[in-house]
């Protein structure tokens, strides 16, 4: 149980385009999901907290107009990187919090590798 999926697993796009990444909790409902980014050989950096039915909360220094987050249902959150630039190239990882049974443990998706040309 407690599986989180992400789609796509990797994406290449041109500079200036927008890219949408989906995060789904497959076997549990997640009122809260989280989005991270990770640069090569670095640790995960929390970008934002996504709450179902309300606006996301962004960490300091993360541009909310550039990284649009929508959490429309209890099993789906999306991250849209708008007007992507090469410096947005990174590994984007989502997690979903399971509030039942496992003591509010976060389960992570497999990640999405974004390359902006």
Partner 1 sequence: DAKTTQPPSMDCAEGRAANLPCNHSTISGNEYVYWYRQIHSQGPQYIIHGLKNNETNEMASLIITEDRKSSTLILPHATLRDTAVYYCIATFRTGNQFYFGTGTSLTVIP
CB of 80 to partner 1, least distance (A): 20
CA–CA gap between residue 35 and residue 94 (Å, rounded): 4
Residue list 67-96, contact with partner 1 (CB under 8 A) = 91, 93, 95
Please answer whether residues 3 and 107 qualify as being in contact, where contact means their C-beta atoms are separated by less than 8 angstroms: yes
CA–CA gap between residue 57 and residue 48 (Å, rounded): 5
CA–CA gap between residue 101 and residue 35 (Å, rounded): 23
CB of 20 to partner 1, least distance (A): 18
Nearer to partner 1, 17 or 102 (CB): 102
Select the residue interacting with partner 1 from 81, 96, 109, 114 (CB under 8 A). Answer: 109
CA–CA gap between residue 81 and residue 18 (Å, rounded): 5
* Interface positions with partner 1 (CB under 8 A): 2, 4, 6, 34, 36, 43-46, 49, 91, 93, 95, 97, 102-111, 113
């Amino acid at each position: 149980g407690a599986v989180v999926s992400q789609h796509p697993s990797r994406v290449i796009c041109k500079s200036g385009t927008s890219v949408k990444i989906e995060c789904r909790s497959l076997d549990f409902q997640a009122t809260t999901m989280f989005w991270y980014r990770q640069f090569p050989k670095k640790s995960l950096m929390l970008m934002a907290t996504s709450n179902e039915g309300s606006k996301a909360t962004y960490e300091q220094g993360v541009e909310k107009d550039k990284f649009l987050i929508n959490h429309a249902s209890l099993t789906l959150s999306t991250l849209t990187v708008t007007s992507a630039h090469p410096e947005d190239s990174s590994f984007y990882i989502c997690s979903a919090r399971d509030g039942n049974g496992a003591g509010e443990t976060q389960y992570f998706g497999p990640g999405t590798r974004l390359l902006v040309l």
